[in-house]
Structure 1
Amino acid sequence: MLYEAKVNCPVCGSSFRTPVEQIIDVRVDPEAKQRVLGGNMNVTQCPACGWVGSLNVPFLYHDPSQELALLYLPVEAGVNEQQRQAAAGRLTRSLMDSLPQEERKGYLLQPETFISLDSLVRHLLKLDGVTDEDLERQESQQGLLRELLQAEPGEWELMLSEESELVDEAFFYQLQYLEQMLGLAEGAVPEGEKITELKEFLIENNARVKVLHERSQLVQPFFENPNRDTLVETLVKVRNESAQEMLIQQGLTLMDYAFFQKLLAYIEAAENEEERARLQALRRRILDIREELAAASQELLEERAVLLNKLLNTEELMKMARSHRSELDEAFVYVLRAQLAKATEEGNRQLQERLNQVGEVLEQLVEQSMPPQVVLLRSLLAASGNDAEMTRLLKEQSQLLDEAFFQFMDSMMEHAKQEGESEMLASLQSLLAKARHFASQPVASAAATSPSETTSPSGLIISKR
């Protein structure tokens, strides 16, 4: 999700506009992960002095296939912790608002937070089973890219022949991202032109890069407009197996009955038997990959059941839960609820109590990672009907009744309307009136920015593309 931000050059002080990414969803943009891993986030160039660097702005990384949400929140995100948490809350809401209702899951409200990009990258790599040798390779690739851009084009052939093993998919996507971002920056010309020239040189002279470029072009229609129709159309046209696999994995949630009906229509309309056989093989491949992912999901549930059993039998529940924080995900909650339902049905009160204790610890951990505005809202909803308790909370934490709080309330009321939850909607409307009464300062209005500008998820004044 791109926004246009107004920034000042750290070298010459010139003000200019440049695109920034703050919501990074790898399902929508599969290449985003390589940008994060390569440290190439929000690269820009000053049109006045030519300075090139990365903007140190917060962003939220989301991989729905792993139910993974990582928040990059540098110290610069706010002068105090309250401002930093407000920025985190805006990013979380922005991501959730962009997702269909069935995908707005609990893990999005508890993203793991990192204050340095390096620590976030290393965490991602660790999840992927990356070794120290892999990290050294990544650093070597970044160094090679810098050296190539500093060298004259006439030197590229020799330099690349000496480091040919470093030119792989990750290297190509780093280069492609730099070209895209510098091309979008206002007035950026020299560095962007050289990056484009290097990319074209690699496509022409490196067989591996040529294949990657062709694959990228093949899948582009779907990633530019991800929906069921473009997924079917692109899959039918693409014959490259790696491109097909990328599309199948990224479009898995769109592969419902309607999707297969559309694919069947292509099969029945095939011009000859060879084409029909190719499309039938494609359908079988899609079904095979779905089965593999279903098996992986079952394996995950079994792993979470083992973890739950450990938590039930430990004397240091909170300590163990903290040490397994990243595993307390939607799959774990599913297993916990299933076990609780079974214990209730069997009348096993002792197990019920212990399972409820695990649930309470999980709830505490969730709240500890939430923005304070969200925690306050949850507490207020829990106190619904108890006017004295609600008044106490609103008085004691009136400093949290800011724009972020009311925006989050608005999104919850909209959700309640869409779902037909009349009781929840009534509670929220009543709470809204009380909260506005206790608000320590008026809610910031859109008039603070120019008509063509809005506010990015982390609070930057921007013009949305």
Structure 2
Amino acid sequence: MPTRKTQTYCPNCRQPIAVEFEQVFDTNQNPEAKNLLLSGQANLLQCPFCKYQGPYSTPLIYHDGQKELLLTFVPPELGLTRDMQEKTIGPLITQVVNALPQEKRKAYLLQPKTMLTYQTLLETILEADGITKEMLQGQQQRMNLIQRLVNTTSDEALTENAKQDDALIDREFFALFSQLLSNAAASGNERLARRMMEVQQRLAEVSSYGKQVMEQQKEVETAVATLRELGDQLTREKLLDLMVDAPNEIRVQAYVSLARGGMDYQFFQLLSERIEHARGPEHARMATLREQLLALTRSFDQRRESQMEQIRQFINAVIESGNIPEVIAQNANAIDELFVGVLEMELDAARKAGNLDRSGKLQQVVDVIEQMSAPAEEMQILNALIEMDDDAARQSLLEQMPPEAIQALAEVLAGVMGQVEASGDAALTQRVEMVYKQVLKYSMRMNLRK
């Protein structure tokens, strides 16, 4: 929905200022509407005189057609009577309804839910995504812990704080920590980014979850190295040997995630034959392994199918958005190998069905992604740095780059770090982290020379 403009007074210095604001946040019209609200970037008032920044209070509605969610909110500080509230909200709801095709106008649109506070509005949106108040409280606790840890002045204090709140230092904690670290680096706050990297490394060493992850990473790295060494010589028989000889369950899980394609009917038939020929304890161990592998592959397939279904829903939202290039650009981080694979399947299915309208839009998505996939100069340099095994060679390349290119490279790396960590590729994560540290140090030295 288009933004509106009005004039108001700065609540801090009382100077008259112009403000742009939105009142309709409809995910059907703008897939980023939810993120805009949740990020706190919606309807921000910025005073050019005293530099004050804060929310601009205005009635608004939020609509998510897929979840059949229609929420209204009128800030209490506006002091509107019930009649005035209805007269203000009514036209906004009409905008939402008129933007929907007739077949999607359902009963929930006649019963919008009134939110008494802005916080309740945000919590209701998140609860529709399965995020409860308890989860939000947990995230706030993790945020507070991160702040305490970063502000500690000694390694002893850091270790003690980590041990006291060991239960909070989990997967969600490290994901949040990595995001905040990327934000600090991207904003140019090198001192904070360097400190956070130190804390992150220490937490990996002293926290229970960190130790577990480091152990898992070692097992994954070993599994990756083993499969790479076999290369084209990897057969079902050799893959089965690796499973049988795996020293622990983590290694087995790593092999399943890395080589699921080879674990087909013939693979399990080979395993069944070995079980038939085994005797005593070995027979029981092999039978247990079969049940374990069946459970792991089933879980892997279920997760993959869930991911593919989410991708299909996202693809449908993209082609219905009316602005495919913009939506793809806004969600570039969601484009990965699995996304491209699902997109190709959807395009093939549309062509076979003779659905020219859908296939045309899907082809447009393909074209936009191909244009975006052309490596930018920063990505070409980053790839070159990652491939280099020698610190001196990387340093030489960095010294040939102008200062603005170093800054651009640091920003690209900040985003890449989060993506690589989420991929679970421990070996690649280690190499990217090594490059990231070297670029960050070089960038800081450049800034000190200014």
Give the TM-score category using the shorter length: 0.3 to 0.5
Give the number of the structure whose alpha-carbon radius of gyration is greater. 2
TM-score (norm 1): 0.36
TM-score (norm 2): 0.37
